[in-house]
Structures are given as C-alpha cells and as structure tokens.
Structure 1
C-alpha cells in the first residue's frame, strides 16, 4: 500500500501556527486574561490575519486596490510577531507593563472593528464608473423613385412609386464575456448554497453582489455560471 506523501510546507505551517497560538495565549494570560479569554486572543488574531489575506485575494481577482486589507493584515501580523518576541525572554511575564495590559485589553474592540470593515467593504471602492458609450445607429429614410418621363407631350398619368421599405436598425453587438476567476466562482457557489439552505430559494444577482462586494457585471456573470 502506497502511503500518502506529506507536504513539508503544510507541516511547517502547522508547527509555526501552533507555536504562535501558544505564545499569544501565554502573553494574554500574563496580561491578566485568564481562562477561556486567554485562549480566545490567539483565535482572534489568527482569524483577522486570515480574513485580511482572503480579502486581498478577492480584491486582486477583480483588479481593485486593497489598502485597508493590507493595513489589517499588517496589524494582525504585528500582534502575532509581537507575542512571539515578547515571550522569547525579552519580557518578564510576571511583571507585564501597564501599556501592554492596555493593548491586550483593547485588542477585542480593534479586531471587531477590523473584521467588520473587511466583511462589509466594497470590492469596487475607489473605481469611478466609466460612462458607457452609446452606439449611434444609422437612420434610414424612405426614398420614393421619381416618375420616368415619356415622349408623349399630352397629359400623362403619374403612377405612384412603391416606397422602399425602411431598413431595421442593426442589433447592438453582444457584450464581451466577463472573465471570472475560478476561486471567486467557488467562493460564490458556497455563498449560494448557504443562501439556498437558509431561505429555500436560489440566490439572486443583487444579493450575490452585496455578499461578494463585486461590480454588477461580475455578479451577473457569476450568477449565470451558478445557474
């Protein structure tokens, strides 16, 4: 029987995550947060780090800037690295300074504020909508052929010429398809499944646009692929 191969990168990431988790717990406990509260701090820091990274990937997929996501990613990374350095012997965990106790006590409000901004930010913020060019369709007029003169000088009956039928305007060209990244479609599919489970009805384009924070044409394209 062939044994599954172990990915060294995943093993290294698991070890680093476990150590960082433990350091954050030790620092929170030293700063006066005991019991379940000390374990909640590393969870909060890691979740904010993952949420900021996910937000950056979504914004990069639609070509939008991500300054806020980078900012909160840096804050969460600083909190994680700071705990690792503080528990390395450079800080006396039995005599934690007051400023560090204040930072640890204020972290829940800061993490809640950052997570809310990341969850409800708009993907197309900072992009001005470009006005769509209106296609000018040619106008066709009905022409009437003039009567043909004859050699007889007497009164000639004038025959009404048959009008040339007006040409119908050409149909506007179809809009080019929108290229949607596969990762964004998979994320949208999870949101659509969750919406169907909760409401019993398929998700519509407007609701999907709000949940993903993408422009309307991206939401329409993703909805068409989920149908």
Structure 2
C-alpha cells in the first residue's frame, strides 16, 4: 500500500512540474510573437529534445553531443520558467529573445536529428592473449607405453684392495747349482722331471724360495 502511494505521489509531482513548465514555455513563446498553435508547439519541442537527450545519455554515458543537447534543452526550459517569474516584461520582450525563440525550431530539429541518427563509437576490442596450445592426445591409442629398460647391474667392488704380488726372492748361484744337480740326478734315475714339492722336501726351503728355484730350473 505504501509503495502505491509513493508511486502516485511521484506521478502527481511530475504532472504538476510538467504542466507548469509547459505553461511557462507557452507564455514566453506567445509573448515573443509566436501566437496560436505555434505557442503550444514550443513546449512540446523543448520537452521532446530534453527526453531524447536523456535517453541517449542512458545508453551512452560519455556521449558529449548528448550532454550538449541535454544542457541546451534544460537551459531553454529553466530560462522560460525564470523569465516568466516576473523578471521579464512579457509585454515588451527584447529583440534578441524574439530571435532566439524564432530560431528554436531549427535548433531543436538539428539536435533531435543528431541524437537519433548518430551511432555510438564502438568499444575497442580487448587484445586477446595467445595461450600456449595444449598438446594433442590420441584418445584412440590402445597400446601400452613401452617400459624403459632396466639399468645394467653395477658390479660390486671389493672395498679391500688386493695385496700386490710378492717379488720373487733372489736365489744364490751356489744354491741354484745344488738344486740343479739334485734335479738332474732325479731325472737320470727316474727318467722324469723332479716335482717341485719333492725338490722342496729335499732342500728343506720355504715355498717361495723353492718356487723361484723351480722356475729357474725350468727356464734353463
């Protein structure tokens, strides 16, 4: 209920303000020499230009031409209201005001035509950022991916280094001659070379020395 009362009050206020402004414009045009139906057409022309400019501003807020014609129509409406408030003698209207009133139809026609037929400047398109292309995936592929070959096993290294081979002991010449005689005697009696272990038992020497003597005998 309160909403309907508020809407009705706004409409009544708008009707009163429009009627008063309409009457003031009519009186000013009639005083400037525009009598008869012409005096009634001036308020309609001013209000239509004001409405057209306002509708244009609702569509394009930054339209300078719409703001220009809106101000022109508003000044014409407010000027008529102020002029008929007793500040202007309607029985002796200045010549410049008669010229302005007489030239208003052409000015209003120009403004209305420009507001209706002009098109707003298109907004600059946003620059598209090239996104990196996504890799193509073959959805029809059924084979399993090939597994990477297993790395070859690395042989484990013995942390303890092997001892270097012991140098062969030096064999004295007299000992080597004695061993050669024993070996020759064994070959003469058996017809076969004397084994190293038998030579080692006969000489009673350690194994490294016996091996060195056996190597010497085999070389000679």
- TM-score band w.r.t. shorter chain: 0.5 to 0.7
TM-score, length-normalised on structure 2?
0.56
Shift of 1:135: 5.0
Query: Is 1:19–2:20 an aligned residue pair?
Result: yes
Instruction: Tell me the CA shift for residue 29 of structure 1.
Output: 0.9
Tell me the SS of whatever aligns to 2:60: helix
Counterpart-to-counterpart distance in 2, 1:136 and 1:121:
41
In structure 2, distance between residues paired with 1:97 and 1:86 = 12
> Is the partner of 2:89 in helix, strand or coil?
coil
Following superposition of structure 1 onto structure 2, how do residues 79-158 of structure 1 map, counting pairs within 5 Å?
79-123=76-120, 125=121, 127-134=123-130, 137-138=133-134, 140=136
The change in CA–CA distance for 1:120 and 1:130 in structure 2 (over 3 A counts) is farther
Q: What SS does the corresponding residue of 1:43 show, helix, strand or coil? A: helix
List alignment gaps of at least 5 residues for structure 2.
139-144, 147-220
Q: Which has the higher contact order (CA 8 A, sep 6+)?
A: 1
Aligned residues: 141
Map Cα deviations across residues 158-211 of structure 1 (whole Å, 9 max, x no partner): xxxxxxxxxxxxxxxxxxxxxxxxxxxxxxxxxxxxxxxxxxxxxxxxxxxxxx
Cα displacement (A) at 1:138: 4.2
**Separation (CA, whole Å) in 2 of partners of 1:134 and 1:52:** 41
Q: Does 1:57 align with 2:53?
A: no
Q: Cα RMSD between the aligned structures?
A: 2.9
Corresponding position of 2:74? 77
For 1:36-91, what per-residue CA distance to the aligned partner results, in whole angstroms no more than 9, with x for missing partners?
1111100000001111111111224xxxx232222211111110010011111111
Which string of whole-angstrom CA distances, capped at 9 and with x for unpartnered residues, describes residues 89-141 of structure 1?
11111111111011101111111111112112223x27433344455534659
Q: Deviations over 1:136-165 (max 9, x none)?
A: 5346599xx99xxxxxxxxxxxxxxxxxxx
- Distance, in Å, in 2 between the alignment partners of 1:116 and 1:136 is 49
Distance in structure 1 (CA, Å) of the matches to 2:122 and 2:91: 47
Aligned equivalent of 2:197: none
Quick check: which has more Rg, 1 or 2? 2
Partner Cα distance (1:132, 1:98) in 2: 61
Higher relative helix content: 2
